[in-house]
């Protein structure tokens, strides 16, 4: 049995992963493994923004950098599980899919969702990151000394 802190850490991790999925990808993976359950909107998808903050000198006092678009929604399944989504961009269908996945992760189909939705999303994210890092690494400068001035 997991304690409350662990449950919260897990949920934070999967919500963060769902938020970074490319457009349409959650629906593809979700619909391939489960049929969508009935749900009621607590908050239909709505588009807004969040103010992105940063720190002066990367480590000092916070300042407001600018906003980014966000889509959020909340829904409840017939069994009572509540799913939330807060995702970047203006993507109502993706927000719905993310909130459904969040709700389903609190039900008995969680292991199946972990295997068929979250694990693939996580692997795809890592692959995108690695590909970009590999291109950056190829532009890393290897210095070699041609002439040294003293003696």
Residues that bind another protein (CB under 8 A): 8, 11-12, 15-16, 19-20, 42-44, 46-70, 72, 74, 76, 80, 82, 84, 86-90, 129-141, 143
Q: Which is nearer to another protein, 15 or 113 (CB)?
A: 15
Name the token pair of 76: 């409840």
Least Cβ distance, residue 120 to another protein (angstroms): 18
Q: Are 55 and 61 in contact (CB under 8 A)?
A: yes
Helix (H, G, I), strand (E, B) or coil at 106: coil
| Residues 128-149 as b or e (16 or more Cβ within 10 Å = b) | eeeeeeeeeeeeeeeeeeeeee
Least Cβ distance, residue 13 to another protein (angstroms): 9
Q: Which is nearer to another protein, 32 or 136 (CB)?
A: 136
Least Cβ distance, residue 30 to another protein (angstroms): 19
Helix (H, G, I), strand (E, B) or coil at 139: coil
Helix (H, G, I), strand (E, B) or coil at 122: helix
Least Cβ distance, residue 74 to another protein (angstroms): 6
Q: Which residues contact 115 (CB under 8 A, 6 or more apart)?
A: none
Q: Which is nearer to another protein, 32 or 65 (CB)?
A: 65
Helix (H, G, I), strand (E, B) or coil at 132: helix
Q: Which is nearer to another protein, 36 or 43 (CB)?
A: 43
Least Cβ distance, residue 104 to another protein (angstroms): 15
Beta bridge partners, 69, equal: 49
């Amino acid at each position: 049995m997991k304690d409350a802190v662990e449950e919260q850490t897990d949920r934070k991790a999967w919500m963060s992963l769902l938020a970074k999925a490319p457009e349409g990808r959650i629906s593809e993976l979700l619909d391939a493994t489960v049929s969508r359950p009935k749900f009621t909107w607590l908050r239909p998808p709505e588009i807004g923004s969040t103010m992105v903050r940063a720190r002066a000198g990367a480590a000092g006092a916070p300042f407001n950098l600018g906003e980014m678009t966000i889509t959020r929604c909340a829904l409840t399944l017939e069994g009572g599980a509540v799913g939330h989504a807060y995702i970047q961009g203006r993507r109502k269908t993706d927000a719905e899919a993310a909130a459904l996945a969040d709700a389903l992760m609190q039900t008995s189909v969680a292991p199946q969702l972990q295997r068929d939705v979250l694990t693939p999303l996580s692997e795809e994210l890592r692959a995108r990151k690695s590909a970009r890092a590999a291109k950056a690494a190829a532009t890393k400068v290897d210095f070699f000394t041609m002439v040294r001035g003293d003696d």
